[in-house]
Structure 1
Amino acid sequence: MMQAHEVMISQVYKVKRTDTIRSVIKQFIEKRISGLPVVNERNEIVGYVSDGDIMRYIGKHNDRIIDSFYWVTVINGDDVDFEKRLRELLDLNVMSIASKRVIKVSWDEEIETIASILGKKQIKKLPVERDGVLVGIISRGDVIRHSFKTIV
């Protein structure tokens, strides 16, 4: 059975936990991506920031939203306008909106398990780690390309 390290992309775009959202958005735009692992100084995965996290922040909120993954800043609809939220967001630390409960897989995880996680959790990408360190990333497209390349 094929394993994560055979499918993953090893040149991973990432941000440091000390970076601002400005650097995240810059990578989203320049690299045409929608999510980034957040790492500490030892390249350990400490979070994941996605375009969904950005949308939750800049969208209109009438109440504080708290769920198991996100703390969204209190914004009372008419009190703060959209452009001001955009400007405020740029200078925030990435960890203020990143998910801290990162779903990740080991470099030797089987592709069948990875496909199951991506499907059941409805996520687009999975960071891959080896000995606690980020070594790659696997997307839904990577799984499909590698799973069907010998069949079609």
Structure 2
Amino acid sequence: TAEGEIIDELSARENREILERVMKKDVYCLQKEMVIEDALKMLVEHHISGAPVVDEEQRPIGFFSDGDFLKRLARTTSNIDDPLALMCLASYEHAHVDDKLQYLMKLQVKDLCVNNCICASITTNMAEICRILSQYHLKKLPICDSGKIVGVVNRSDVIKSSVQRYVEGVED
């Protein structure tokens, strides 16, 4: 019905306004062909722990975080259960961590990133944003409008917004 469409449109507009207040609009995206060294430098330079990975048309295709890099740096190829053998292997791997670091730094972002970028629409309501962050154990959720990233919502942004709304409600 026309009335239902008007309500949906109003709701979408309200959701957009709330998200635009909560999300960070200065989004740093990584190109999929970028080398890991440059990606990590960008994360450090902008004091962020991860960023969406985009294709040539700036559409989200993945997500890369410092955790993805650390997991790969720490990963061992062995399935050894013997503690003594594991200690020997750890010593061996420690000696070769520089070699592994050199190798990883030359890879492209697309080689290490999570290849499925979970995103939300700019009209998604905050309850759904919270559900997505929680269900998928995400720290950051890219927000898209017409297939392009327009912002990122962090868990800390949601908490900050929730506390502000609570305090404002208590003070009234």
TM bucket, shorter chain: 0.7 to 0.9
How far residue 60 of structure 1 moved from its aligned partner, in angstroms, is 3.7
- What residue is the counterpart of 1:71 in the other structure? none
User: Greater Rg, structure 1 or structure 2?
Assistant: 2
Specify every segment of 5 or more residues in structure 2 that has no aligned partner in the other structure, as ranges: 1-13, 80-88, 168-172
Q: Which residue of 1 aligns with 2:108?
A: 93
| Higher helix content, 1 or 2 | 2
Structure 1 unaligned segments of length 5 or more: list them.
65-75
Structure 1 length-normalised TM: 0.83
Q: Please, which of 118, 136, 142 is the counterpart of residue 121 of structure 1?
A: 136
For the 8 Å contact 1:105–1:114, the answer to whether it is kept is yes
Say which structure is richer in strand. 1
CA RMSD in angstroms comes to 2.0
Q: Does 1:111 align with 2:126?
A: yes
Amino acid at match of 2:130: A
Say how many residue pairs are matched: 141
Report the counterpart of residue 46 of structure 2 in structure 1: 31
Aligned residue identity for 1:19: M
Contact 1:5 1:108 in 2 (8 A): no
C-alpha separation in 2, matches of 1:58 and 1:52 = 10
1:57 aligns with 2:57: no
Q: Which runs of 4+ in 1 moved over 6 A?
A: none
The change in CA–CA distance for 1:98 and 1:60 in structure 2 (over 3 A counts) is closer
